[in-house]
Amino acid sequence: MTIGAPHDVSTLHVGGANPYDVVVGRDLSSMVPGVLGDSVQRVALLYAGELGALAQPVADALSEHYDVLALGLPDGEQAKTASVANDCWEALGAAGFTRSDAVVTLGGGATTDLGGFVAASWLRGVRVVHVPTTVLAMVDAAVGGKTGINTGAGKNLVGAFHEPAGVLCDLALLETLPRDELVAGLGEVVKCGFIADPEILAIVESTEPEALTPRSPELRELVERAIRVKIDVVVDDLKETGGQDGHPGREVLNYGHTMAHAIERATDYRVRHGEAVAIGCVFVAELTRLAQGLEDALVERHASAFSRVGLPVGFAGATFDELREAMAVDKKTRGSQLRFLVLEELAVPRVLAGPSEEHLKAAYEAMVARA
């Protein structure tokens, strides 16, 4: 099946054992069947329930070639539960989905995580194509093959690695995104500037925040740069087994996430993921200043870069003990020892294992003071 691509698209290739492309452009719905291919008969379109109008063009493009099962999901993190996953499995079974059939997701990071997990687990793995509708999903959840659901103990503790057949980042879909959701997605983008691509920080620091719109070349470049950062990391370390020469490998993408996930859990996910990541990155920069002498200027650059785009850099909504308990079940924890991704210097990430309780509490107090 050959379908022409829209004009002005960027194709970012993800190599490895199961290569695929991430396409960035506008009005990409017509490309979905071409990514799925001819061997598929049935397609389950899993979409965030509030996005029915956005899902319709994709459903129409698919229905010209396949039998389409459209499944609306709860919004946000409420979709990422075992109950919702089970409902999807039951629907696939009732519709007779086989190993040669496929899943397409349309929505934000939660939809991508849940839909990817359903695809990974149904018959031990069927094809999945992601059509992310938020900045966060474009630069983070849709790329790299991580899927997952939440449990009462924490976020993303159940999941599987399952690489997509393709990812279509349609920037036109961002035009219906509320401004605060677009800004929240920039948390993961700015994070990529600190861990790997300082040019991202230069763009953020030289661009007026209100100029970062779905049609702006600056936002497109930020999205593409952040995707490239993720591609470079996951190609070398798909399953988070570690990097080379002291580099943490794929774990580096979790910079700021130990505290971020604790904040999300403590607030029952009322704090958006990108907002929590911004706070978590500033927290871990402060922790690294205390534990390893990270330069004051780099710590303050964290706060200024995230706040410039409109993200919070402090949090006072939970006690130290509440957050400390939540961090104890973070995926990077080994035994009873907390592990944090930190910076030795800009774009030089390392792992800090077992920081002292004194330093953790002092970094927490600095986080509260910034709120």
pLDDT tens-digit profile of 18-48? 999 999 999 999 999 999 999 999 999 999 9
Same domain, 218 and 78: no
Same domain, 62 and 108: yes
Same domain, 192 and 218: yes
- 196 lies in which domain range? 179-370
Same domain, 204 and 298: yes
- Which CATH number goes with the domain that contains 24? 3.40.50.1970
Query: Does some domain include residue 1?
Result: no
Q: Quick one: average pLDDT of 270-293? A: 98
Query: Does some domain include residue 341?
Result: yes
Indicate the pLDDT class of residue 3, thresholds 50, 70 and 90. very low
Q: Quick one: average pLDDT of 246-271? A: 93
* Residue 8 φ/ψ, nearest 5 degrees: 60, 55
Q: Quick one: average pLDDT of 263-282? A: 96
Same domain, 208 and 96: no
* pLDDT value for 305: 98
Residue entry with tokens 């976020």:
155
Query: Does some domain include residue 4?
Result: no
* Residue 81 φ/ψ, nearest 5 degrees: -130, 160
* Distances from the Cα of 46 to the Cα of 136, 172, 176, 286, angstroms: 18, 19, 19, 40
Reported as a single tens digit per residue, the pLDDT across 96-113 is 999 999 999 999 999 999
Same domain, 257 and 305: yes
Task: Give binding residues for Zn(2+) as ranges.
Answer: 188, 257, 273
Answer whether residue 1 shows pLDDT above 70.
no
Of 121, 141, 176, which residue constitutes the final position of a domain? 176
* pLDDT value for 334: 66
Reported as a single tens digit per residue, the pLDDT across 183-192 is 999 999 999 9
pLDDT above 90 as % of the chain: 89
For residue 15, give the 3-state DSSP assignment: coil
Answer whether residue 333 shows pLDDT above 60.
yes
Task: Give binding residues for NAD(+) as ranges.
Answer: 75-80, 109-113, 133-134, 146, 155
Of 117, 152, 176, which residue constitutes the final position of a domain? 176
Q: How many domains does the chain have?
A: 2
Reported as a single tens digit per residue, the pLDDT across 145-177 is 999 999 988 889 999 999 999 999 999 999 999
Same domain, 94 and 239: no
Query: Does some domain include residue 263?
Result: yes
Same domain, 288 and 226: yes
The residues with which 44 forms a beta bridge, in sequence order, are 69, 103
Same domain, 136 and 197: no
SS3 content of the chain, % helix, strand, coil (to 5): 50, 20, 30
Query: Does some domain include residue 3?
Result: no
Query: Does some domain include residue 209?
Result: yes
Q: What is the DSSP letter of 325?
A: H
Query: Does some domain include residue 278?
Result: yes
Indicate the pLDDT class of residue 293, thresholds 50, 70 and 90. very high
pTM: 0.94
Task: Give binding residues as ranges.
Answer: 75-80, 109-113, 133-134, 146, 155, 188, 257, 273
Answer whether residue 337 shows pLDDT above 60.
yes
Position 1, amino acid? M
Separation between Cα atoms, residue 159 and residue 271, nearest integer Å? 22
Same domain, 128 and 216: no
* pLDDT value for 241: 75
Q: Average model confidence (pLDDT) for the chain?
A: 94
Same domain, 207 and 345: yes
Q: Quick one: average pLDDT of 116-136? A: 98
Query: Does some domain include residue 138?
Result: yes
Same domain, 268 and 120: no
Of 154, 176, 198, which residue constitutes the final position of a domain? 176
- Which CATH number goes with the domain that contains 338? 1.20.1090.10
